[in-house]
């Protein structure tokens, strides 16, 4: 079974540019989460999808961040325009909606974003 | 006060010893508690979860939960050098939002 995949693995952009991160969850996982880890800080929750619906986006820093999950499969997280403080590692995680492992979030390898 | 607090470490133990990792949380409504292991440059990997007060054992790992004290711990018996990693405590409240601690770095010396 393929795990959670994220693309790109690393992105370097200049302040003011736009970047789009992609996450492909484990097949069949309706729950999809985005997290961010800024250097030296804890992993912070950004938002949670159930299928294509946003259940909780209370962790989104501001309106420069836009997450979508059209069709309830893969998700994208767009940052526009990027600022220096957006640098960090963006993790995606997924879990099934029910069953014995519904509470276990499987993390992807992360996208390291560097804004110069 | 942080929502989930951990000692950043590093915690250094000799091979074969018991490593004890601790975590406190602020939200009394928290319902699910998790320990993740993260190797440097890698993604977090779930190793234990616990919902009820008491102990839960899985191989060399034991999670302990005390909701009255808002305290979660992870014991690693017979520590191995391969256990050297950052251990993240995470707490989930009634919804699906998970709050992570900053992690404790563990070094197991051969």
Query: 3-state secondary structure string, B15-29?
Result: CCCCEEEEEEECCCC
Contact B4 A42 (CB under 8 A): yes
What mean pLDDT value characterizes chain A?
Answer: 93
Confidence grade of residue B95 (pLDDT, cut at 50, 70, 90):
confident
User: Phi and psi dihedrals of A28, rounded to 5?
Assistant: 90, -10
Any idea of the CA torsion for A7, A46, A36, A77, to the nearest 10 degrees?
A: 20
Whether the CB-CB separation of B19 and B13 falls below 8 Å is answered with yes
How crowded is residue B68: how many other Cβ atoms within 10 Å of its Cβ? 7
Q: What are phi and psi of A17, to 5 degrees?
A: -80, 175
Q: Which residues of B touch A106 (CB under 8 A)?
A: 46
The DSSP element (H or E) to which B34 belongs, if any, is strand B32-38
Question: Which residues of chain B make contact with A33, given a CB cutoff of 8 A?
Answer: 96, 98
CA angle at residue A94 from B104 to B87, to 5 degrees?
10
CA distance linking residue B67 with residue B18, whole number of Å: 23
Check A55 against B96: CB less than 8 A apart. yes
Pairing verdict, β A111-115 and A10-13: parallel
- Answer for the pair A115, A86: CB distance below 8 angstroms, yes or no: yes
Do A104 and B98 count as a contact with CB atoms less than 8 A apart? no
Which single residue is written with the structure tokens 């440059």? B41
- Contact between chains at B99 and A45 (C-beta distance less than 8 A): yes
Rounded to a whole number of angstroms, the distance from the CA of A15 to the nearest CA of chain B is 25
Q: Is B82 helix (H, G, I), strand (E, B) or coil?
A: helix
Interface check A31 vs B, CB under 8 A: yes
Is the Cβ of A58 closer than 8 Å to some Cβ of chain B? yes
CA B63 to each of CA A73, A95, B42, B47, B70: distance values in angstroms, whole numbers, following the listed order: 34, 22, 23, 10, 14
Residue A8: asked if its preceding bond is cis (omega within 30°), the reply is: yes
Interface of B with A (CB under 8 A): 2, 4, 32, 34, 42-46, 49, 88, 92, 95-103
Distance of CA B68 to the CA centre of its chain: 18
Q: How many cross-chain Cβ pairs, A to B, lie less than 8 Å apart?
A: 48
pLDDT average, residue stretch A76-95: 96
- Spatial CA neighbour of B94 closest among B36, B51, B44, B47: B51
**pLDDT tens digits, one per residue of A3-54:** 999 999 999 999 999 999 999 999 999 999 999 999 888 999 999 999 999 9
B58-67: pLDDT as tens digits = 999 999 999 9
Query: Is A49 at the interface with chain B, CB within 8 A?
Result: no
pLDDT tens for B75-88 read: 999 999 999 999 99
């Amino acid at each position: 079974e393929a795990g959670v995949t994220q693309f790109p693995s690393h992105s370097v952009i200049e302040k003011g540019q736009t970047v789009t991160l992609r996450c492909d969850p484990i097949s069949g996982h309706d729950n999809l989460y985005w997290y961010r880890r800024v250097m030296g800080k804890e992993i912070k929750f950004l938002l949670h999808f159930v299928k294509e619906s946003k259940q909780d986006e209370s962790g989104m820093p501001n309106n420069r961040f836009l997450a979508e999950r059209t069709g309830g499969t893969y998700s994208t997280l767009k940052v526009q325009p990027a600022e220096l403080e957006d640098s960090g590692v963006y993790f995606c995680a997924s879990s099934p909606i029910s069953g014995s492992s519904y509470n276990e979030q499987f993390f992807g390898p992360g996208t390291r974003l560097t804004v110069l | 006060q942080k929502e989930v607090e951990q000692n950043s470490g590093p915690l250094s133990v000799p091979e074969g010893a018991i490593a004890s990792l601790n975590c406190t949380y602020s939200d009394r409504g928290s319902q699910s508690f998790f320990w993740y292991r993260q190797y440097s440059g890698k993604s977090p990997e779930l190793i234990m979860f616990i919902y009820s007060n008491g102990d839960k054992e899985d191989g060399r790992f034991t999670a302990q939960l005390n909701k009255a004290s808002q305290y979660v711990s992870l014991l690693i018996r017979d520590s191995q050098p391969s256990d050297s990693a950052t251990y993240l405590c995470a707490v989930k409240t009634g919804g699906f939002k998970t709050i992570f601690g900053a992690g404790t770095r563990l070094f197991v010396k051969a």
